[in-house]
């Protein structure tokens, strides 16, 4: 009986006071970046990866900054010396401080990964968007070129470039990885452009009088970002691994410079006597690769404005 | 013509200047299967502040005509002939840069699909502001304020809030309103509305049409309304162009079109509208289907489906002027009888006659 009395009485043409629409939609509209942050934080693995990457970054910047080129100091008396306060990871086979070398190696690998991915993204977006947007013969020529690059055995091309232009040079390694790795990004971008070019909102932008450049940069590229971000994240991981492989084969970075691959290469000779030397660079490598992928994954989801945030706040 | 009905025609002063003139427009598509003549010799004009309705079945070339006016035809299509004049400017001879100044500024367009015509990654306000700043030297802030103002003008409550929202957060009707706001934000002289209400349900349709009417008065603009809904035409248009398979079948003012149509195709279209309170066993339909654009019949394109078809229809019928302002592409005389040359004249005679009877405008 109580409930019947409380139920709002509906009168045609009149709104019951209990259902006042004025107080339905008062939640403020969150801006795009607020939503991105919320969505990213939701993605737990991505969040952890972000912290891991930040920690590695700080490690790679701060330690070499404080110690200068101390990582190159080799001493006979410290060969194979155990961990101590000044060398938390001990000393390696020629008496260099493993901890300092590890920090420098992380720095080198991250620089190579970042720089190579920049090349991959820039070239990939350029080629992919021109091919996808212009289409026709231009598309055909560019994509056949991509096919040619893809059909080449990447590692051998890189080895060739590196051995031709000088081993142990970071710039050469970066360029070698960059110019062989952009094909995947180009293909992804082209595929996105091909479909987005015909999208109604692109037609609408054209009917509004937007120029080609504006349509490409403002209307198509943001929608094509999702696969690009994933490709870039995987590209970072891939470049770091490729560099490690190069250095492992002795074509990448070599002493006195240091990279993760180079440390692994040096450690393999002493794997039986001093297996601990493999672990630090190996673990850092795995951490970089995994966290870069997860971070990219989370970023893609977070940047997509169509992704909904579930009600469970 | 017994009943006296008032149509919006009466509101348009006859002396209004011609805004857009399309003459003998031909847009063909070069497909792997052959040439599709999507628009084949279409002629019409729109006066200032006039609403022109373009009607026809799906695939008759309505949308292609609209896209051709803005020269938005992409491969494999090509405008192969004709003239498009906007006041004293020749759109066909414009450079890409000049075209961009016309698009969205003097001529705006709204599309059929409000669900997909807005960019999903930008907020509604951003997109309208972009349309403004493309054509006017305004600051970002001014453009945004205009966007908010326009969102309010199209009847969306709480415009400041809505402007910050993304297309997927709005309903279909609201998105179409945003599209209209975007199209009108630059105060165009001509609005091309390509089936603006097709994707919406009827109550929203009525609201959108009402909105377009009031904005037409407010902005003093002309509208080219493309639709296959004759109800919408009756509601909105001053003049009507009926298209079939890329050709104009009949062109007249709206009163004539609805009360004394001449072309059998127009009559067929009107007969297939269900009427309220009318008891019929079956709804009348036009027999058959639209001919494949790759395999058009010779002579009259409608002859296979036409209840009045005669042997003379194997020759392309003339586009004859029945009264000033009323043209129809048919062999029938103004009274609906067989042509004066008889039902089955020789091919040469028919061709000569068709040529003589065809009017240009």
| pLDDT tens track for A131-185 | 999 988 999 999 999 999 889 888 888 888 888 887 778 888 899 999 888 998 8
Contact B124, B156 (CB under 8 A): no
**Interface membership of A169 toward B (CB under 8 Å):** no
CA separation, residue A268 to residues A8, A93, A242, A261 (Å): 80, 11, 18, 11
**Interface membership of A207 toward B (CB under 8 Å):** yes
Do residue B102 and residue A209 have CB atoms under 8 angstroms apart? yes
**Interface membership of B181 toward A (CB under 8 Å):** no
pLDDT of A242 above 80: yes
CA separation, residue B322 to residues A119, B1, B331, B358 (Å): 69, 15, 11, 11
The mean-pLDDT minimum among A13-22, B22-31, B38-47, B258-267 falls in: A13-22
Instruction: Please give the helix or strand (H or E) that residue B218 lies within, else none.
Output: helix B202-219
Q: Cis peptide leading into A135, omega within 30 of 0?
A: no
In the stretch 17-36 of chain A, residues with CB closer than 8 A to chain B read: 25, 28-29, 31-32
Distance from CA of B289 to the nearest CA of A (A): 28
Do residue A204 and residue B109 have CB atoms under 8 angstroms apart? yes
Q: Identify the pLDDT of residue B15.
A: 55
Distance from CA of B243 to the nearest CA of A (A): 23
Do residue B119 and residue A211 have CB atoms under 8 angstroms apart? no
Q: How far is CA B242 from the centre of its chain?
A: 9
**Interface membership of B109 toward A (CB under 8 Å):** yes
Strand ranges, E, within B97-246: 107-110, 190-194, 222-227, 239-244
Q: Among A31, A205, A223, whose Cβ lies nearest the Cβ of B120?
A: A223
Q: Identify the pLDDT of residue A310.
A: 52
Contact A209, B102 (CB under 8 A): yes
In chain A, the residue whose alpha carbon lies closest to the alpha carbon of B71 is: A207
Q: Among B105, B111, B161, whose Cβ lies nearest the Cβ of A203?
A: B111
Q: Identify the pLDDT of residue B17.
A: 83
Whether residue A70 lies inside any domain: the answer is no
For residue A122, the domain's CATH number is 1.10.3720.10
Q: Is B262 exposed, middle or buried (0-12, 13-18, 19+ CB in 10 A)?
A: buried
**Interface membership of A14 toward B (CB under 8 Å):** no
Task: Return the closest-CA partner of residue B339 out of B324, B322, B360, B325.
Answer: B322
Scanning the structure block, which residue is given the tokens 């040439």? B35
The mean-pLDDT minimum among A34-43, A209-218, B133-142 falls in: A34-43
**Interface membership of B98 toward A (CB under 8 Å):** no
Cβ-based contacts of A219 with chain B (< 8 Å): 119
- Report the predicted TM-score, pTM, of the whole model to 2 decimal places: 0.74
Contact A271, A198 (CB under 8 A): no
Number of Cβ atoms within 10 Å of the Cβ of A6:
8
In chain B, the residue whose alpha carbon lies closest to the alpha carbon of A304 is: B121
User: Domain count of chain A?
Assistant: 1
Cβ-based contacts of B100 with chain A (< 8 Å): 209-211
The rounded distance, in Å, linking the Cα atoms of B182 and B175 is 10
Whether residue A284 lies inside any domain: the answer is yes
pLDDT of A4 above 70: no
Whether residue A27 lies inside any domain: the answer is no
Q: Identify the pLDDT of residue B119.
A: 87
Q: Cis peptide leading into A256, omega within 30 of 0?
A: yes
CA separation, residue A128 to residues A117, A132, A211, A224, A232 (Å): 15, 6, 19, 11, 14
Q: Which residues face B224 on adjacent strands?
A: B52, B192
Whether residue A46 lies inside any domain: the answer is yes
Whether residue A11 lies inside any domain: the answer is no
Give percent of chain B above pLDDT 90: 16
**Interface membership of B168 toward A (CB under 8 Å):** yes
Do residue A209 and residue B164 have CB atoms under 8 angstroms apart? no
Q: Identify the pLDDT of residue A313.
A: 38
pLDDT of A55 above 90: yes
Contact A101, A91 (CB under 8 A): no
DSSP-derived pairing of the beta strands B51-55 and B239-244: parallel
Task: Return the closest-CA partner of residue B291 out of B247, B245, B228, B330.
Answer: B245
Whether residue A268 lies inside any domain: the answer is yes
Whether residue A9 lies inside any domain: the answer is no
Task: Return the closest-CA partner of residue B167 out of B151, B153, B144.
Answer: B151
pLDDT of A69 above 90: no
Contact A75, A62 (CB under 8 A): no
Distance from CA of A211 to the nearest CA of B (A): 7
Do residue B117 and residue A209 have CB atoms under 8 angstroms apart? no
Q: Would you state the structure tokens that stand for residue A6, as one six-digit string?
A: 């409380």
Do residue A203 and residue B100 have CB atoms under 8 angstroms apart? no
ipTM of this predicted complex?
A: 0.75
A224: containing domain: 34-65+97-311
Task: Return the closest-CA partner of residue B326 out of B263, B235, B245.
Answer: B263
Q: Among A31, A32, A201, whose Cβ lies nearest the Cβ of B118?
A: A201
Q: Among A135, A203, A211, whose Cβ lies nearest the Cβ of B72?
A: A203
The rounded distance, in Å, linking the Cα atoms of B154 and B178 is 8
Contact B20, B84 (CB under 8 A): yes
The rounded distance, in Å, linking the Cα atoms of B178 and B188 is 16
Cβ-based contacts of B131 with chain A (< 8 Å): 208
Contact B71, B61 (CB under 8 A): no
Do residue A201 and residue B130 have CB atoms under 8 angstroms apart? no
In chain B, the residue whose alpha carbon lies closest to the alpha carbon of A307 is: B168
In chain A, the residue whose alpha carbon lies closest to the alpha carbon of B169 is: A306
Kindly write down the DSSP assignment for every residue of A175-189, as one continuous string.
HHHHHHHTHHHHHHH
Is pLDDT larger for residue A306 or for residue A243? A243
Contact B354, B317 (CB under 8 A): yes
**Interface membership of B119 toward A (CB under 8 Å):** yes
Whether residue A1 lies inside any domain: the answer is no
């Amino acid at each position: 009986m109580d409930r019947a009395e409380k139920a709002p009485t509906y009168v045609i043409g009149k709104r019951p006071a209990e259902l006042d629409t004025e107080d339905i939609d008062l939640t403020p509209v969150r801006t795009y970046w607020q939503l991105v942050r919320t969505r990213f934080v939701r993605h737990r693995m991505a969040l952890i990866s972000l912290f891991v990457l930040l920690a590695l970054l700080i490690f790679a910047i701060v330690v070499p900054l404080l110690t200068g080129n101390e990582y190159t100091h080799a001493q006979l008396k410290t060969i194979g010396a155990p961990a101590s306060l000044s060398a938390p990871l001990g000393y390696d086979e020629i008496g260099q401080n493993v901890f300092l070398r590890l920090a420098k190696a992380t720095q080198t690998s991250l620089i190579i990964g970042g720089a190579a991915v920049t090349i991959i993204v820039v070239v990939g977006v350029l080629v992919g968007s021109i091919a996808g947007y212009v289409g026709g013969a231009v598309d055909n020529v560019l994509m056949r070129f991509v096919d040619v690059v893809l059909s080449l055995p990447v590692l051998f091309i890189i080895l060739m470039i590196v051995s031709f232009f000088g081993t142990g040079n970071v710039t050469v390694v970066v360029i070698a990885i960059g110019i062989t790795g952009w094909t995947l990004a180009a293909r992804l971008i082209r595929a996105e452009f091909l479909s987005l070019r015909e999208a109604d909102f692109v037609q609408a932008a054209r009917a509004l009088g937007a120029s080609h450049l504006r349509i490409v940069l403002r209307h198509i590229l943001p929608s094509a970002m999702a696969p690009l971000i994933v490709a870039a994240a995987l590209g970072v991981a891939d470049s770091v691994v490729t560099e490690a492989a190069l250095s492992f084969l002795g074509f990448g970075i070599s002493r006195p410079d240091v990279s993760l691959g180079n440390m692994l290469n040096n450690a393999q000779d002493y794997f039986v006597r001093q297996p601990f030397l493999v672990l630090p660079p190996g673990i850092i490598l795995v951490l970089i690769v995994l966290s870069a992928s997860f971070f990219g994954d989370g970023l893609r989801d977070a940047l997509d404005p169509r992704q909904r945030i579930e009600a469970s706040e | 013509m017994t009943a006296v009905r008032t149509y919006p025609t009466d509101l348009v002063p006859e002396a209004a200047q011609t805004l857009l003139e399309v003459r003998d427009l031909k847009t063909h598509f070069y497909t792997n299967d052959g040439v599709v003549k999507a628009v084949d010799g279409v002629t019409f004009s729109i006066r200032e502040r006039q609403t022109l309705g373009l009607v026809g079945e799906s695939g008759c070339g309505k949308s292609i005509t609209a896209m051709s006016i803005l020269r938005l035809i992409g491969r494999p299509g090509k405008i192969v002939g004709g003239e498009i004049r906007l006041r004293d400017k020749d759109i066909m001879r414009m450079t890409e840069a000049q075209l961009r100044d016309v698009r969205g500024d003097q001529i705006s367009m709204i599309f059929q699909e409000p669900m997909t015509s807005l960019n999903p990654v930008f907020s509604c306000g951003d997109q309208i502001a972009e349309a403004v700043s493309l054509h006017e030297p305004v600051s970002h802030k001014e453009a945004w304020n205009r966007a908010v103002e326009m969102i309010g003008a199209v009847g969306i409550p709480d415009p400041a809030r809505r402007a910050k929202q993304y297309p997927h957060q709005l309903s279909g009707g609201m998105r179409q309103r945003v599209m209209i706001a975007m199209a009108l934000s630059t105060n165009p002289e001509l609005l091309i509305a390509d089936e603006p209400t097709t994707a919406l349900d009827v109550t929203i349709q009525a609201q959108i049409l009402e909105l377009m009417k009031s904005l037409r008065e407010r902005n003093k603009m002309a509208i080219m309304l493309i639709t296959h809904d004759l109800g919408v035409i009756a509601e909105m248009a001053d003049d009507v162009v009926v298209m079939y398979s890329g050709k104009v079948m009949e062109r007249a003012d709206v009163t004539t079109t609805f009360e004394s149509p001449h072309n059998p195709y127009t009559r067929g279209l009107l007969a297939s509208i269900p009427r309220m309170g009318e008891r019929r066993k079956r709804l009348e339909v036009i027999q058959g289907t639209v001919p494949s654009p790759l395999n058009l019949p010779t002579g009259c394109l409608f002859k296979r489906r036409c209840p009045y078809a005669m042997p003379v229809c194997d020759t392309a019928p003339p586009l004859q002027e029945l009264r000033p302002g009323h043209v129809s592409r048919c062999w029938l005389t103004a009274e609906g009888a067989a042509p004066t040359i008889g039902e089955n004249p020789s091919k040469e005679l028919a061709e000569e006659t068709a040529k003589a009877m065809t009017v240009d405008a």
